[in-house]
Amino acid sequence: MEIKILELLTGGGYMAVGAFLLYMFLRLDRSIQSMTKEIKEIKQNYVSKDTCVSKDITKRVNELEKETLKRSEFYRDFSGWRAEINRVEDKVDQLKDLIISRG
């Protein structure tokens, strides 16, 4: 097709120039449509990847919140054991004092 257009151009005339310009516009239009299609695909891939990353971040944040909750429960439970150990220690001291005072 390009060869025919070049032959028309070498023959000269407005018709040849008009045909050449029409051919160039059509070719440009196809290129623009192709680029638009590629841009849309890239945009869709970016949005889908962004959504996946967002879901992963949300999932990780939820896991960290659960872990933090477990740590706070652990410390609360551990502090309860500390108080019980202190009470047992006091009772052992009282028992020791009682045995020493009777002995």
Task: Give the pLDDT score at 69.
Answer: 63
Residues listed for the chain = 103
pLDDT in tens, 32-79: 999 999 988 888 887 777 777 788 888 888 888 777 667 777 777 777
Structural domain of 7: 2-102
Percent of the chain with pLDDT strictly greater than 70: 87
Question: Phi/psi of residue 13, each to 5°?
Answer: 105, 160
Number of domains, the chain: 1
Rounded Cα distance between 6 and 10, Å, is: 6
